[in-house]
């Protein structure tokens, strides 16, 4: 009977040892799972921060593009006005030249003035076109800068 008790106690000890080992393994697996969950949470928070940064950049880019669109429309309006003035001035210079020719010898001085007005009109028109090209180039460069910043954020 003592031997049976001893064997029983030995079996009990082995059972308790196995339970303790299994419990330790479960505890280790639980700790590892908790660590991986924490790392996953940190990765998600980093991704959320990056999304906020990208969103902010996109909103800024959209604002800049909207402003560029408005400026471009304003420039086109101004260029239309300048072109209209130049066309009217050119027409007036032509009419003045015709009147000067009709006046004959007395209109020669007026013909010189009409020619100068026509030349100034052409110069004004050319200068306005140059200004428009420079502004358009500036707008394109600014748009390119915004696009480049967006590409870097991606």
Contact predicate 94/118, CB 8 Å:
yes
Task: Write down the architecture of domain 2-153 according to CATH.
Answer: Orthogonal Bundle (1.10)
Return the HEC string of 81-109.
HHHHHHHHHHHHHHHHHHHHHHHHHHHHH
Task: Please return the burial class of 120, using the count of CB atoms within 10 Å of its CB with bins 0-12, 13-18 and 19+.
Answer: middle
Give the residue extent of every domain in the chain.
2-153
Q: Can you tell me the mean pLDDT for 113-136?
A: 86
- Rounded to two decimals, the pTM is 0.58
Q: Confidence band (pLDDT; 50, 70, 90) for 22?
A: confident
Q: Confidence band (pLDDT; 50, 70, 90) for 153?
A: low
Percent of the chain clearing pLDDT 90 (strictly above): 14
């Amino acid at each position: 009977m003592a031997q049976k008790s001893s064997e029983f106690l030995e079996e009990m000890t082995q059972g308790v040892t196995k339970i303790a080992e299994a419990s330790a393994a479960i505890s280790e697996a639980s700790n590892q799972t908790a660590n991986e969950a924490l790392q996953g949470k940190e990765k998600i928070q980093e991704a959320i921060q990056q999304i906020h940064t990208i969103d902010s950049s996109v909103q800024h880019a959209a604002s800049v593009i909207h402003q560029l669109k408005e400026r471009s429309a304003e420039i086109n309006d101004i260029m239309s006005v300048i072109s209209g003035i130049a066309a009217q001035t050119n027409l007036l210079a032509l009419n003045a030249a015709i009147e000067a020719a009709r006046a004959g010898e007395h209109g020669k001085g007026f013909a010189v003035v009409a020619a100068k007005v026509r030349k100034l009109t052409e110069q004004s028109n050319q200068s306005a076109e140059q200004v428009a090209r420079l502004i358009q180039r500036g707008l394109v460069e600014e748009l390119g800068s915004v696009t480049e910043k967006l590409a870097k954020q991606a």
